[in-house]
Chain A
């Protein structure tokens, strides 16, 4: 007997009798013989928990945890202890999608709270219940704009995260959408670069803020230009910066999207994270994914339901904008708890620390004389520096010290200097930063 299977011999006998089948094999008599598998499955034999802890424990030791100075789309953020205590509750963890709202008010309410908080941070009118990740959220936003404007071209900032761009490219190709990537002059999205490519075929412009290079984009004039052209402005944003930075709503963006990993979700080797999408009242019905709405029950009691489902794929079938079925519900809960714990004050405090840590690191690195500025553009918690040092060798050296150094941008560069993207979040202490800079100097002299 196996611990997940309750069927005793007696059970099997009684149940077979009830079904009229002669044996368990007989239950598969409707399968042609030719498709019945006769081979030997290439799986190990069952392991007990003791053995699993041992085996996977050993395997995990072939991974290394590092002190991170690397961002580029995934950030080492503070994860309060309360979060896992709550998200591991079986009512949240093992429940299904809230299609029977009467017994899913827990899920529906926290999603309503998530939607509310995302709207508060982004300054937008409506948000959905979350989508898979920031890259697919941006892709969905792109198709919203195409559907709304009935135009087929999308301008993309040259300062967009290349991994997000890769996803846009893949989906755009299959739907014959023309992507035009703007020149990233001076590590940001310039008005001139937008003007150069804007025409009446453009459905939208996608800009990231802070952008891939950490730079804070100045958006007001660009927003005006885009809207004069009757195109939409899509902003891919980092919600952990939005307690401080001008919001997509204030800028006049039509769609705000991105990854909410920075709201307390661990690095998780890339997933699970959680994508979010928020938009204006006007575009509400073009928003893919699930949306929770408030309503009353027959007794007048306040409650929550999935709403606007007619938009969703299972009703509109091929007319739907998107095929997204699920969200990343438990990860949305993770971020709601984070935002509740941190609150107004905490969100601002975290943003401030990340900003200050990054600027401290920036100045200390420049002081070593081993790095050069590449731009005067304002940045938030990431920045690019040029160096004559061999980045690969330095990064390898850092690994041995248990440090994950900045990302080698490997840009095509006619000169010999190379570029490196550094990051410092609220998790880095002054001591860690000082130590890192010392290690850089140590690397240089060895």
Chain B
């Protein structure tokens, strides 16, 4: 029963809803050629059917509330429940976005204050919460970069430099804005090669996109020089905020010379991932770029907040103002942490990552041996008796979510582990123990890894079949 699709539970005539009695419920009087001819195959189930179905479905998932999620680059920190409670207030959820400003002062204040606090943490001047996710924030940030140059009549500046270790979203985001990516090589210690970078700079370069620490968890120590080189070239520097958890309160991207950044509220600021959204990817800029922020901006004058639409902006990147409730959660988180605790997040995150690095380096290849920041990258088993995929699948048998695998692309058997600041030493020790056990299993009985997982409700799935003959809706099965 509980392995069925909701459609398969359907029985004709069942209902799962009730509406008030109404006099205004006649047939719709539109012309026949405007009406639907074929019936929609929607379920007919009771309320209990729905509750049982989705409750049972939920048990086939794994959330942060139940266990460690060492996903590198995702910052799977604890999602505080006070955030959820606050965000469920009807005085937030029942606000129409087109209500006049005087009836939504509380909502606008949350946007304004969160922007102010994030600005203080990052050194930027203002944030826009219109982008819905990190990738969206990135595209928005790059639009600001391009627009800046267009306003200066620098029409030829269409190239954006990224390190060869960059995340796949970066080139895609650049082409969304009509720009082109050029890669700069890394040195063997994984950081940007300054000489190679200098060779790429010319008047076609709009800017550079970097994350710091970089995608392999190493701090770009030459960042001030990189910023200077870019600025001298008339270019801008964009900060991918995916790794902000390593620096919170310790160092500010704007102080390093960045001009634009995006933050992932669902990473650094504890809002829940929701299985893949809704998140929020606010964009922050320095003073000189503020006018370019997407429309509308939240302004404050004489203690009143209002929304401003300006012709100087790059335009709109969302239908309304972004994911408001997600911002409410981040706002609540910031108030809960307060300035004294926000400054400690990075310390504990970095301590945790380095601890795991030391404890696992005997069993897993460590390509970068120096100090890491909030995440550590291994390049597969030292013994090479099984692939990173095998290790990941075997971890599932032990009840753990695997780390990020096969990213960064720089190493063939990458596994990236990010233990956030919420994880205790006991949790880490337990994880380390399991990882060491798996490494031993790889030596003694590699087959058990190759065929893992064994204990999950489904085992390895045929992804080739899914791609060759896509079945993407229920009707395809009928």
Contact = CB atoms under 8 A, between A and B. Distances in A.
Contacts of B26: 352, 356
A133 interface: yes
A146 interface: no
A196 interface: no
Nearest to B173: A323
A6 B419 CA distance: 13
Contact of B135 (A268, A292, A313): A313
Interface string A12-53: 101110111100100111111011110011111111010011
Contact of B22 (A7, A247, A430): A430
Given A7-B348, A269-B104, A295-B462, A86 B51 contact: yes
B220 to A, nearest CB: 10
B47 interface: yes
Given A65-B91, A308-B467, A352-B25, A169 B5 contact: no
Interface stretch (B193-201, B336-344, B378-386, B441-449): B336-344
Contact of A32 (B45, B221, B332): B221
A200 interface: no
Contacts of A55: 335
Which of B69, B334, B470 has its CB near the most chain A CB atoms (within 10 A)?
Answer: B470
24 contacts: A5-B422, A35-B252, A45-B339, A90-B63, A94-B79, A96-B76, A100-B402, A102-B456, A104-B61, A107-B276, A116-B475, A130-B277, A133-B318, A245-B30, A268-B95, A294-B472, A295-B463, A297-B459, A324-B135, A327-B276, A328-B278, A336-B6, A343-B44, A395-B100
Contacts of A296: 461-462, 465
Given A62-B109, A175-B178, A343-B16, A250 B38 contact: yes
A35 B251 contact: yes
B412 interface: no
A92 to B, nearest CB: 5
B273 interface: yes
A74 interface: yes
B163 interface: no
A21 B357 CA distance: 13
A364 B411 CA distance: 70
Which of B45, B103, B422 has its CB near the most chain A CB atoms (within 10 A)?
Answer: B103
Given A18-B355, A167-B315, 11 more contacts: A19-B357, A52-B82, A52-B336, A78-B19, A96-B273, A97-B276, A245-B30, A296-B462, A343-B14, A343-B42, A343-B45
A15 to B, nearest CB: 5
A12 B462 CA distance: 44
A299 B174 CA distance: 43
A120 B5 CA distance: 15
A72 interface: yes
A272 B473 contact: no
A185 B263 CA distance: 44
A426 B106 contact: no
B418 to A, nearest CB: 12
B1 interface: no
Interface stretch (B231-239, B283-291, B320-328): B320-328
B96 to A, nearest CB: 5
A112 to B, nearest CB: 7
Given A86-B51, A94-B63, A269-B95, A330 B355 contact: no
Interface in A102-127: 102-107, 109-110, 112-113, 115-117, 119-121, 123, 125-127
B412 to A, nearest CB: 16
B474 A102 contact: no
A391 to B, nearest CB: 12
Interface in B304-334: 314-326, 331-332, 334
Interface string A46-71: 11010011011101111111101010
Interface in B432-478: 451, 453, 456-463, 465-467, 470-477
A31 B62 contact: no
Nearest to B37: A250
B295 interface: yes
B332 A52 contact: yes
A59 B327 CA distance: 14
Given A7-B351, A56-B332, A294 B466 contact: yes
Contacts of A166: 295, 315-316
Task: State the 3 A-B residue pairs at the shortest beta-carbon distance, nearest first.
Answer: A46-B338, A270-B320, A170-B315
Contact of B82 (A49, A110, A115, A301): A49
A63 B275 contact: no
A72 B55 contact: no
Given A15-B355, A110-B57, A170-B314, A32 B224 contact: yes
Nearest to A355: B28
B70 to A, nearest CB: 11
Given A135-B318, A174-B176, A271-B320, A94 B168 contact: no
B181 interface: yes
Contacts of A294: 466, 471-472, 476-477
A276 interface: no
Contacts of B367: none
A73 to B, nearest CB: 6
Contacts of A29: 371
A132 interface: yes
B462 A46 contact: no
Interface in B50-69: 50-51, 53-55, 57-66, 69
Contacts of A374: none
A55 B82 CA distance: 13
Nearest to A342: B17
B209 to A, nearest CB: 12
A63 B320 contact: no
Contact of B316 (A45, A100, A132, A170): A170
A314 interface: yes
A2 B30 CA distance: 62
Contact of A2 (B177, B320, B332, B344): B344
A7 B326 CA distance: 28
Given A4-B422, A93-B63, A36 B251 contact: yes
A349 B25 contact: yes
Which of B110, B176, B256, B346 has its CB near the most chain A CB atoms (within 10 A)?
Answer: B176
A298 B322 contact: no
A35 B344 CA distance: 17
A271 B325 contact: yes
B460 A297 contact: yes
B459 A89 contact: no
A291 interface: yes
